[in-house]
Structure 1
Amino acid sequence: MNRKNYKEAAQLFLNAVGGSENISTYLHCVTRLRFIVFDKTKVDESVIKTSPLCKGLNWQSDQLQIILGTGVVENVYDEVEKILANEIKIAKTSIVNSTKDEAMALAKANKNKFQSKTKFGWFKKGMRGLGDIFLPIIPAIVAAGLTMGFAALFKQVGWISKGSQADKILTIITNTAFDFLAVLVCWSTFKKFGGNPVLGIIIGLMLVSPILPNKGAIGQWEAYQKFLENNGKPSDWEKILGTIPTEIYPMKIGFIPITGYQGSVLPPLILGIVGAYAERGWKRIVPQAVSIILTPFLTIVLTFLVGLFFLGPILLMVEKGILIAVQWTLGLPIGLGVAFTAGILQAIVITGCHQVLQGLEMQLVTAGQIPNGNGVLTHSIFNAIWTASIISQGGAALAISLRTKDSNERRLGLSGVIPTFFGITEPAIFGTNLPKTKPFLFGLAGGFVGGWFAGLLNITCPGMGVTVIPGLLLYTHDWKMMLGIIGVNIISFSVAFVLTMAFGIDKIKVQKNFKKEMIAYKNEQKLPNEEWKKVVKSLETVTNNHARQLNDFNKSLNNLDRLSLKKEIVEIKMNNFQNKKQNKFTKWNKKKIVKSLHKNQLKFAKAQNVYNENIINFQNWQSEAMMILKDDVWLKECQDKMKAIVAR
């Protein structure tokens, strides 16, 4: 895909969302281009869908999500940034010809106006905010997860030995992101809530300071004590885990237990919010002359002390309670908790709130590195849950591409299948499965069955961040787990594929008024069942033909919109070259501009001809479609068909 097509798509999307004046802000994630708009009624979804790059659309409150896929979304986003770089009334970085107070007042008024109309808008906004915090952290976790998988594979095949220099280097790569997770969370939270990200890094580093007792080391020592209480022997522990943990306890200041926050999410998240708002508050209070000195000092010291002695211990208990509740749910008998979670996971994805679950999975992975009372590393089952829910949507999308007779649907289906093998479901869900409803539901069913299988066999791994094919690397530490996760992939994919092939694509049904007329006609003519089946089959053929004609009409209409936009773009380019021709006087420049102008005139003429041809096709389809949509014409044709069958 060349840069020109990305630019055309970006321009089309901007026009369709109502222009820059209707955009509050914009961003992108792994697969989606996200526009937060002021007025949803100004967005023309039909125009957006005409782009061949668009795999589907999704709304989350006032946020429009255009599913483009990995590799594409970054390029389109870059083009959007370039187009909007010189435009005003866009709250991406600054607002030209307007004071800061006026801009903030306008944005706040629009936000309140449109969010007040949305039910549970506050909840969706909160979930979106949490997702935006975890989104920048995910690449670091993915890198750690992949390295963890390769390290386990290298140990299995004997390329490196445990405790060797190579093993230590790989351990640095795999453990750093999890050990300093509090730093990453605090940094991202400060950035999200308008604070200085560097202050977030400093506070996060204080939370994992080596002076504080390591939370993970405390957990390992407590697990070792439970192991001994269960009549375990130190020698057995060493055989299982290699080394006996060092004796370590939380610091006590009065009755308050003080520990480090290695691997924690909730404490640095809340402290990041507190610190960001505190910094903004100090900037308003502290005189400007000394603000550069006092504001960071007060923010860092007070936020850290509040976290260390008050919020931190409370939030650690809350975090532990949440983790226990989740582990209890996933541990329900015969794998039902895992099955239920895998079954609803992609339903959460369509809301855009699934990034919040990354924080929960980080906690499960960190907790899984601490041995239980039997000296066993429990690891995390959440990766298998993700895998089951993702690959099942790919199975449903493949079934659609094989069953459908529409070439566009087949293309969308196939383009949605491939990303699911690498852990991305948005193209499959929004491109094919969700618009047809049943395939999406059968995809959820496939995730449920695959999750049930994972829960029954307790398929766990020590990492996160990668799923399906790349995720197999996380299971190379244990070949039983490797076979188990392969089984999860096969079962989830197959269940969704078979269900969708059998029941997922509805046949075109006769309109209700036709059905009533046919039943009345059957009773009047006293048709036997065999004759009636012939009537229905013949009528379905007629209905399918009309449906195909209406589908071609809609395609023609969408193609016309796309060509109209393309013609306008070429016309703008041609006018630009004409202006350059008038303003340039040197012989060399004039020759170059005349040549470019001639080239664009040819493009414009070609675009005009194609546009005119499609106008004619459109008018033809329009007249046919109008005839089809008249119930009396269609009904008469169906009745004539029935009478002809009866006469035979």
Structure 2
Amino acid sequence: MSKKNKYDELANFIVQLVGGKENIQYVTHCVTRLRINVNDTTKVDTKKIEEIEGCLGVQWSGNQLQIIIGQAVADAYKRVVEVNNLQDTGSSQKPSNNEKKNPVIAILDIVAGCITPVIPGLIAGGFFQILVLLTTMAGLISEGSSIHTVLTFVGNTPFYFLPVFIGGYTAKKLGGNQTMGMIVGAMFLHPDFISGLAEGPLSIFGLPIYNASYGSSIFPALLSVSLMVPIEKFIAKHSPDSLRSILEPFITLLIIMPIALCVTGPLGDVLGTYISSAIMWLYNTIGFLGVAVVACLWPLLVMTGMHHALVPYILNSFATLGFEGICETAMIISNIDQGAACLAVALKTKDKTLKSTAFGCSITAMVGGVTEPGFYGVTFPLKTPLYCAMAGSFMGASIAAIGKACAYSVAGSTGLLGGLPIYIAGGMSNLLWMVAGVLIGIILTFVLTYIFYKEDVKEI
């Protein structure tokens, strides 16, 4: 007898509850949510979906039903696809031709679709770097030793080869050949290309090739492959069937090669550099207020999907500066404070169901950094806890930013366990300022929520 899967109930009933297979355009997932695009939203029974085991909440984004699962969403997605014989699209999304999107949202959707699948690898690499730092500081391994060398290059690998991953997932996201996308990303990292740039000017077809370092970059591959995919589709459409397997990849690469090396690659490098410089200029100009405002507004950015616009900056900042002092700090403090607000509600409410829900949500948010259950299930519906968490986050982030606390790696999770270790590389003072900001945020959020949340008043 087969072992019962945690997501069997979801897999067995989800198709029926969204109006049947004929109402489903496609199924995909991100880091915490199962995403189902439907033709007719009126056929979806969200109330019954919310009652399914493993479902932490439900929300709509246009015609897309987002079922909040948490960090095990990939397991839920796999089970749903298997049981219902659905097309496995992974974390890529293939919008219907009839689906109309706001251009800004569409761009953010592409950025999220090509970056989100890479994040687990970046987290692993970041924590390898933390492991090297801690073991070296503790005297367990020495610099220059074999194990130090191996752990260091393994930790750097996901970042250095980022253009390859971005190229592949951008192609997949846009419906192109994933291998071709990876090749375009890999062109920027080939040893002969790097050494050629170092030895002297390079050119192709008489066009000068811009001298830049593309390791750990995002925008060059993203822009180049975004242009490569329509070229690839055009060639595929106009190639004779008997020659398509040869002409499609060869002509595509022949056309995109000079464009990538001479135009989109350099443009992406400049874009990434100036975005990071602009945000750091803003940070240095308005100081701690910038971090405080981002922390205060972070729940609303996540709710609208606008936080995806900041991901390229975050990764580019690590690549170019080696640290990031705004978004990671704001995000971690904000997520933990959502948990603190839920904890205050859990201790104050007399409603047993709400008490249980809020207490569970406080743990997932504070420890693991998963805020969707708490946000959609507690703070957002009740409003007052949300406002208190935003106020607490503003003050907590202000303290951390006054001390110029900076993250030195991508957080494994944006809670206490995964968030604080990424500040160790900046020294003990850097870590203590972040801890101070986190504690101030927790205490203020909890106290404000406990005082101002009134259960006997219907909140609007």
Return the TM-score normalized by structure 1.
0.65
With over 3 angstroms needed to count, the CA separation of the structure-2 counterparts of 1:12 and 1:401, relative to structure 1, is farther
Aligned to 1:387: 332
Aligned to 2:153: 172
The alignment status of 1:183 with 2:164, answered yes or no, reads yes
Aligned to 1:76: 76
Q: Is the 8 A contact 1:131 1:353 kept in 2?
A: no
Root mean square deviation, CA, Å: 2.7
Aligned to 2:60: 59
Aligned to 1:454: 400
Aligned to 1:566: none
Aligned to 1:401: 346
The one-letter code matched in structure 2 to 1:23 is I
Higher CA-based Rg: 1
Aligned to 1:483: 432
- Whole-angstrom distance in 1 between the partners of 2:459 and 2:272: 55
The alignment status of 1:495 with 2:441, answered yes or no, reads no
The one-letter code matched in structure 1 to 2:269 is L
**Structure 1 unaligned regions, length at least 5:** 94-103, 219-247, 370-377, 512-648
Please state how far the C-alpha of 1:12 moved relative to its aligned partner. 3.3
- Whole-angstrom distance in 2 between the partners of 1:188 and 1:505: 47
With over 3 angstroms needed to count, the CA separation of the structure-2 counterparts of 1:266 and 1:29, relative to structure 1, is same
- Whole-angstrom distance in 2 between the partners of 1:459 and 1:29: 29
Q: Deviations over 1:574-617 (max 9, x none)?
A: xxxxxxxxxxxxxxxxxxxxxxxxxxxxxxxxxxxxxxxxxxxx
With over 3 angstroms needed to count, the CA separation of the structure-2 counterparts of 1:504 and 1:301, relative to structure 1, is farther
- Counterparts of residues 124-523 of structure 1 (less than 5 Å): 124-213=105-194, 251=201, 253=203, 257-369=210-322, 380-420=325-365, 421-466=367-412, 467=414, 468-477=416-425, 478-508=427-457
- Whole-angstrom distance in 1 between the partners of 2:368 and 2:359: 14
Q: Is the 8 A contact 1:214 1:261 kept in 2?
A: no
- Whole-angstrom distance in 1 between the partners of 2:388 and 2:45: 30
Q: Deviations over 1:183-210 (max 9, x none)?
A: 1111110111111111111111111222
The one-letter code matched in structure 2 to 1:389 is S
Please state how far the C-alpha of 1:361 moved relative to its aligned partner. 0.7
- Whole-angstrom distance in 1 between the partners of 2:375 and 2:420: 23
Please state how far the C-alpha of 1:364 moved relative to its aligned partner. 0.8
Structure 1 consecutive aligned stretches of length 4 or more whose deviation exceeds 6 Å: none
Q: Is the 8 A contact 2:35 2:66 kept in 1?
A: yes
Q: Is the 8 A contact 1:56 1:431 kept in 2?
A: yes
Aligned length: 447
- Whole-angstrom distance in 1 between the partners of 2:256 and 2:184: 8
Please state how far the C-alpha of 1:498 moved relative to its aligned partner. 1.4
Secondary structure of the structure 2 residue equivalent to 1:264: coil
With over 3 angstroms needed to count, the CA separation of the structure-2 counterparts of 1:212 and 1:5, relative to structure 1, is closer
- Counterparts of residues 17-56 of structure 1 (less than 5 Å): 17-56=18-57
- Whole-angstrom distance in 2 between the partners of 1:43 and 1:347: 25
Aligned to 1:536: none
Q: Is the 8 A contact 1:399 1:500 kept in 2?
A: yes
Please state how far the C-alpha of 1:343 moved relative to its aligned partner. 1.6
Q: Is the 8 A contact 1:135 1:355 kept in 2?
A: no
- Whole-angstrom distance in 1 between the partners of 2:293 and 2:9: 43
- Whole-angstrom distance in 2 between the partners of 1:186 and 1:367: 19
Q: Give % identity.
A: 29
- Whole-angstrom distance in 1 between the partners of 2:222 and 2:294: 24
Please state how far the C-alpha of 1:504 moved relative to its aligned partner. 2.9
Please state how far the C-alpha of 1:70 moved relative to its aligned partner. 2.6
Q: Is the 8 A contact 1:393 1:425 kept in 2?
A: yes
The one-letter code matched in structure 1 to 2:107 is G
- Whole-angstrom distance in 2 between the partners of 1:387 and 1:476: 15
With over 3 angstroms needed to count, the CA separation of the structure-2 counterparts of 1:131 and 1:336, relative to structure 1, is same
